[in-house]
Amino acid sequence: MKSFFAQLKDIEALTKQNMLYVAVESIQDVVEAAQTPQSPFPKGLCLL
């Protein structure tokens, strides 16, 4: 059985990994959106 501090170290490592994953995925989403052509008007918008 691991000590309390060893368990905290494990949780810390997992948290850092999860934070890195979220950051990388968020950046990828922004880059993907920036590279996707955007229409100047939302779908279904009627200007008349």
Residue 29 domain flag: yes
12 versus 48: the higher-pLDDT residue is 12
Residue 23 domain flag: yes
Tokens 């995925």 — which residue? Answer: 25
Residue 22 domain flag: yes
Q: Dump the DSSP string for 1-48.
A: ---HHHHHHHHHHHHHHHHHHHHHHHHHHHHHHHHS---SS-TT----
Residue 9 domain flag: yes
Tell whether the model's pLDDT for residue 41 goes beyond 80.
no
Tens digits of residue pLDDT in 1-40: 899 999 999 999 999 999 999 999 999 999 999 998 877 7
Residue 11 domain flag: yes
Quote the domain boundaries for residue 30: 1-34
Calculate mean pLDDT across residues 43-47: 67
Residue 47 domain flag: no
Residue 39 domain flag: no
What's the structural domain count of the chain? 1
